[in-house]
Chains A and B, each alone.
Chain A
Amino acid sequence: MSWVAPRWLKVFRDLWSNKTRTILVLLSIAVGVSAIGMVMGAQIIVDRNLPEAYTAINPASATIYTFNTFDDRMVEAVEALSQVAEAEARRSVNLRFRSPNSDEWRNLTVTAIPDYEDITINKLKPEDGAYPPPPRELLLERASFGASLGLGDVGIGDTLLVESPSGKQRTMRIAGSVHDMSQLPAFMNGAGYGYIDFETLAWLDEPRDYNQLVFVVSENKSDMDHINDVAKLIEKRMESSGVNVLFALVFTPGEHPAQNFLDAFSLILGGIGVLALGLSGFLIVNTLSAILTQHVRQIGIMKAIGARAGQISVMYLVMSLLFGILALMIAIPLGSLGAAGLAYIFSGMLNFDVEGLRPEPQVVIVQSVIAIAAPLLAAFWPILRGVRVTVREAISEIGLGKGHFGHSLLDRILVGLRRIAPMGRPMQISIRNTFRRKARLSLTLITLSLASVIFIAIFSIRASLQQTMDDALSFFDYDVQVVFSRAYRTDRITQQLDNVSGVDAVETWGFGTARRIRPDNSESEAIIVYAPEPDTTMLHPIIVEGRWLDPDDANAIVLNTDALRDEADVGVGSVITLNINGKEMDWVVVGIVRGILTGANAFANFSHFAYVTNEVDRAQVSLVRLDDRSSASQLAKGQEIEQAYRNGGFRVDQMGTIDQLRTTINTIFDVLIAFLLSMALLLGVVGGLGLMGTMSINVMERTREIGVMRAIGASNNSVLRIVLVEGLIIGLISWAIGGLIALPASRFLTMTVGMVLLQAAPSYIFSVGGAILWLIIVLALAFMASYLPARHASQLTVREVLSYE
């Protein structure tokens, strides 16, 4: 190695001789740079694949769902509109099914398409097995083969026992699988998707007509307002032909239906990537400062034998550069792998294919810049400070007492602590040692506290989302909901359950959609109208203004805050015109209730609503509250109730329990939370690395002190305990600081995530459980991070220690 100048040999050997420290620094840098690579790379892969795949299916501009059915003439009429380029109709039916290995009935959303070979909108892609679906057989959407949907143990060729809303049971073979990107991923829907032809629909005793219209606008395809206008035009056309429109679903043009879910992920991951980078920046500053501190004497010696400050600076900058380059060699493949993994998870969740998983050049460039610049920037100040040390300062640093203690107010408070809280000498040493290197302690605390904030915030987000869901679900205080294919007499609906045990209450509600006709004759978005009995016990509205419905009210209506979002001129006392089933009537707004994730809603008295909809004493929905409200009871009783209705000749369209709804929403939330938690854990690891570095350096610096303590009788355990307790104190302080910051930060993050995910402000609660869990984790981390340095310290012999230089 004689061709390499000794000063560079020193740099290389400094890296090589302290491998643990070098690995610690490399990991510190690599964690942040990998995180950025992972998040950015995944974003690029998803951005490249998802829009392309989604555009390829020619997604509908909007889908219009109807209460009653329509035929081809309506489709032709819509297609004839100049604003519409293409239109197609389908029928979607909710079936129940049972797999051969299960006794449990599950739901399946089955779509019948007239001509599978000529789909122009929301195209399906055949995957495996038969295509199109053979008569009396069905195809399943590829993402439906999941255990959570009851289809985990079936494959192509297996048969399912299915039951149509009329109660007809048929055995159907799964003939193949297709890929349908137009649907919300099955796990978010809470039910799988099946595809059949119209012959099979008739075989299942279902009408051959349509209840869904998909269309593509002819111009301004990416103008959402235009699409909304066209959708309203079509709805009007349909309603004037006697087709009751349930609602029109207009997705943001060119965006996958679950794009908001993806956006929430990207937002959080991006934030966490930046945070991880920031934290690793702190780690680098901390570790390089520590290295410089350790090297003070060497710097002094080098200066004494002729090195200039500039030369020494360059040596340590090169060292930082090498750290960056080496870390980059870890971070590029790791980030690329992480990006592929993340993109793969996203593609699995949102049901699209990703291709071309390779290191993205732009990501590599960003990673390179960060990996090289971050350590250089982080090292700049420590180096500047380190090389400014004079030879005299450097070589006079002998004896004990590195890290000043005793001068600051804090130090004096700590010294005074022993008078308030009597404690043993080793504990006093641990506490005082903690505060000796205040700058180093600060950086370690920043890292660990940030990890604490994020962890606690993530748990608060989870708790808040669940609280929001609970609020929404307790708004409607029933356990089982049964939707019939048509309206039945209310007394018949109620009486049918007289002989079903365990039923606490049964209510029948009117249900429909309305649009406000504004003073300027324009129409509002669809408003879902619920019409409960006046003495309902299954609604717990939170009144914001005005009052709830009185039994004597006729054309009184209560709106929720979501309904007022676009109707700023409406308030309590306003008289508004609503179009319900083509009938325009005036209603008096008597109250405003808080909207809870259910969109624009209106509430009217059942009798008056039934009169308006020509369904006097008839209802299409049965709501049941059970004596035993547990999830097991909900499922069992729900199936019993459904069977009771079927036995009584009711055509049941759908049976759902609140618990199923909760499970579906929870599944979505849990996927998000699992992600967030893994990221929080990553931050925890970064924090742990930081603490380990700090503790190692502290121990190294105090080797001589440890020797003195051993010389005067400290046992291995005493030394071990002193160091471990110091680590635990740091962990505890970081938890306290993190917890305090988490109070406002959790609220902010919850609101941000909630707005992105739910398009509404969620209910907020601070997760005390999350804070306690993090306390346990951070103490465990602190223990692990301090154990190695502590053990090392406890094993030093007095001779070794006192000869330490």
Chain B
Amino acid sequence: MSEIAANGRRASGGPPLIRLERILKSYQTPAGEFIALRDVDLSIGAGEFVAVVGKSGSGKSTLINMITGIDRPTDGEIYIADTAIHKLAEGPMAEWRGRNIGVIFQFFQLLPMLSCIENVMLPMDFCDMFKPSEREARALDLLHQVDMASEANKLPSEISGGQQQRVAIARAMANDPPLIVADEPTGNLDTRSADSVFKLFEDLVRQGKTILMVTHDEELAERTSRRITLADGEIVGDHAVHPQGLPQETGEPPRVPATRIPAT
């Protein structure tokens, strides 16, 4: 990944997948105004595996919430591909997010009353992606990819935390989004499970997905392709970790990622 420049553009000169311009996010608290993000400029190219690190309260979660559209900037602009998501209303935003971003949470957040496979089918159902007759097969295939096919019909409460996070990853992949955003995905897992989940992310990047991951785990952050460090709402570090790109297990070059994100 040596071709990644400091501004996040690929050396090939393609447009960045994610572009944040002068992002300011502030909250009004009883103690006065709290600045969560201050004048943040950031570009992330398609196919990157980015780790966002920093201490608690540094603005990591706020940053990825800006990118997923979960939260809105007080000022500044955010573009994912050509979509100005800071301008999207809540309703179109939900649908756009469902189709284009796979979100993974620290606490897995599977719906407890649905089985694993049903959880994976749910985004397809909401966003009307894929034919209804194909959804179950696709969900099973995704579960197979995360090695959870055998647990497809179990409820979340019947499987371990690590397994739940695998299902959550499969769910994030349900609509085949080009971008996956994960907030502390391994924060609630033991080392072995965390490692296993991380390997899944590495596979996804090899398949051409762009992954943005908040983590506290320095060791995991060192295994990504780019590391962005935040402190007090500002980017204080942004550097490539693996200039040669992620280790190739199959020997194939990274695929050209899909950038299906439509302009709205």
Contact = CB atoms under 8 A, between A and B. Distances in A.
A307 interface: yes
A99 to B, nearest CB: 67
A308 B107 CA distance: 22
A311 interface: yes
Interface stretch (B41-49, B90-98, B198-206, B237-245): B90-98
Nearest to A309: B91
Nearest to A2: B136
A805 interface: yes
Contact of A308 (B94, B122, B175): B94
A519 interface: no
B247 interface: no
A422 interface: no
Interface string A294-309: 0001100111111111
Interface string B74-117: 00000000000000001100110111000101010101111000
A306 B123 contact: yes
A5 interface: yes
Nearest to A306: B98
B26 to A, nearest CB: 14
A306 B71 contact: no
B171 interface: yes
B70 A390 contact: yes
Contacts of B109: 297, 301, 304, 395
Among A7, A297, A311, A391, residue most surrounded by chain B Cβ atoms (within 10 Å): A391
Nearest to A3: B132
Contacts of A306: 94-95, 97-99, 123, 126-127, 175
B224 interface: no
Contact of A5 (B105, B111, B119, B125): B125
A9 to B, nearest CB: 6
A297 B110 CA distance: 10
Contact of B119 (A6, A14, A395): A6
Contacts of B113: 9-10, 13-14, 17
Interface in A263-321: 297-298, 301-311
Among A6, A14, A308, A395, residue most surrounded by chain B Cβ atoms (within 10 Å): A6
B168 to A, nearest CB: 10
Nearest to A297: B109
Contacts of A303: 94, 97
A392 interface: yes
B70 A392 contact: yes
Contacts of B91: 308-310
A304 B70 contact: yes
A560 B71 CA distance: 79
A135 to B, nearest CB: 81
Q: Mostly helix, strand, loop or mixed at chain B's interface? A: helix
A311 B126 contact: yes
Given A2-B136, A10-B113, A305 B107 contact: no
Among A13, A17, A298, A301, residue most surrounded by chain B Cβ atoms (within 10 Å): A301
B132 A5 contact: yes
Contacts of A9: 113-114, 118
B68 interface: yes
Interface string A166-182: 00000000000000000
Nearest to B70: A391
Contacts of A305: 97-98, 103, 122-123, 126, 171-172, 174
A260 B131 CA distance: 67
A799 to B, nearest CB: 14
A308 B123 contact: no
A304 B136 contact: no
Interface string A364-391: 0000000000000000000000000011
Nearest to B105: A395
Contact of A390 (B71, B95, B125, B175): B71
Contacts of B132: 5
A207 B121 CA distance: 95
Contact of A298 (B70, B111, B118, B127): B111
Contacts of A297: 109
B70 A307 contact: no
B207 interface: no
Nearest to B102: A305
A386 to B, nearest CB: 14
Given A305-B171, A390-B70, A395-B109, A13 B114 contact: yes
B259 interface: no
Contacts of A392: 65, 70-71
A307 B99 CA distance: 10
Given A298-B111, A304-B97, A7 B71 contact: no
Interface in A663-688: none
Contact of B111 (A10, A309, A311, A395): A10
B116 to A, nearest CB: 11
A186 B13 CA distance: 103
Interface in B44-70: 65, 68, 70
Among A10, A304, A309, residue most surrounded by chain B Cβ atoms (within 10 Å): A304
Given A297-B109, A306-B97, A308-B126, A6 B118 contact: yes
A256 B172 CA distance: 73
Contacts of B121: 5-6
Interface string A308-338: 1111000000000000000000000000000
Contacts of B90: 309, 390
Among A14, A305, A307, residue most surrounded by chain B Cβ atoms (within 10 Å): A305
Contacts of A10: 111, 113-114, 118, 122
A289 to B, nearest CB: 20
Contacts of A13: 113-114
Interface in B103-161: 103, 105, 107, 109, 111-114, 118-119, 121-123, 125-127, 132, 136
A297 B113 CA distance: 13
B219 to A, nearest CB: 25
Nearest to A13: B113
A303 B113 CA distance: 17
A802 to B, nearest CB: 12
Contacts of B98: 305-307
B90 to A, nearest CB: 7
Contacts of A6: 114, 118-119, 121-122, 125
Contacts of A298: 111
Nearest to A12: B113
Contacts of A311: 126
- 9 nearest A-B pairs in the assembled complex, by CB-CB distance: A306-B98, A13-B113, A391-B70, A307-B126, A306-B127, A305-B123, A6-B118, A306-B126, A6-B122
19 contacts: A6-B114, A6-B125, A10-B114, A10-B122, A13-B114, A17-B112, A301-B105, A302-B122, A303-B94, A303-B97, A304-B68, A304-B109, A305-B98, A306-B94, A306-B123, A309-B91, A309-B94, A392-B71, A395-B109
Given A5-B125, A302-B122, A304-B70, 17 more contacts: A5-B132, A6-B125, A10-B122, A14-B113, A17-B112, A303-B94, A304-B97, A304-B105, A305-B97, A305-B122, A305-B123, A306-B123, A306-B126, A306-B175, A308-B126, A310-B91, A392-B65
Interface of B: 65, 68, 70-71, 90-91, 94-95, 97-99, 103, 105, 107, 109, 111-114, 118-119, 121-123, 125-127, 132, 136, 171-172, 174-175
Interface of A: 2, 5-7, 9-10, 13-14, 17, 297-298, 301-311, 390-392, 395, 805
